[in-house]
């Protein structure tokens, strides 16, 4: 009995430390992204705070949209032959709604950014997001090889 309790305790400690490590890693990536975008967009102090307020709202909305979709389909197995056509139709409709929501969020971001930032910088932001994502993927691959 003591061994079982000890084993469960160790597993719990490992899971907690693993979750904390993931949060720290996420915070580091967010901080690096903030520095990266601020530098590349050449934001002045006045517009920097406005930008990050609008951009954080956009990022939080995207994360929530993704979280809702993930929770809904966590247990769903697409390779299941038990699905009816109606279930597949519902899945496709939900997927399209999810994608439409992403587009709507991006459109709202553009409208909000146009109030204080040039269209050129707004357009450049989307390219920078892709560049940042690729850079992070490369760094993670290199870290995993070591």
pLDDT digits (tens, 9 = 90+) for 9-37: 545 555 554 544 556 678 888 899 999 99
Q: Which of 104, 102, 113, 110 is nearest to 62 (CA)?
A: 102
User: How many degrees, rounded to 5, is the angle at CA 32 between CA 28 and CA 33?
Assistant: 115
Tally of helices (H runs) and strands (E runs) in the chain: 4, 0
Could you report the per-residue pLDDT of 63-118, keeping only the tens digit for each? 999 998 888 777 566 556 677 888 888 888 988 999 999 999 999 999 999 999 99
Put simply, whether the predicted model's pTM sits higher than 0.85 gets the answer no
* pLDDT of 17: 47
Q: How far apart are CA 91 and CA 94, in angstroms?
A: 5
* pLDDT of 140: 83
| Domain spans, the chain | 26-145
Contacts of 105 (CB under 8 A, 6+ apart): 58, 61, 62, 65
């Amino acid at each position: 009995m003591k061994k079982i309790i000890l084993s469960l305790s160790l597993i719990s400690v490992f899971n907690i430390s693993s979750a904390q490590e993931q949060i720290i890693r996420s915070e580091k990536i967010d901080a690096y992204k903030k520095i990266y975008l601020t530098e590349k967009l050449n934001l002045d102090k006045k517009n920097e705070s406005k930008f990050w307020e609008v951009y954080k709202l956009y990022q939080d909305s995207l994360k929530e949209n993704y979280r809702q979709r993930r929770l809904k389909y966590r247990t769903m197995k697409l390779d299941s032959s038990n699905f009816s056509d109606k279930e597949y139709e519902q899945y496709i409709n939900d997927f399209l709604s999810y994608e439409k929501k992403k587009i709507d969020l991006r459109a709202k971001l553009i409208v909000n950014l146009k109030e204080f930032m040039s269209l050129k910088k707004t357009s450049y932001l989307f390219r920078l997001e892709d560049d940042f994502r690729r850079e992070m993927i490369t760094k993670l691959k290199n870290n995993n090889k070591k």
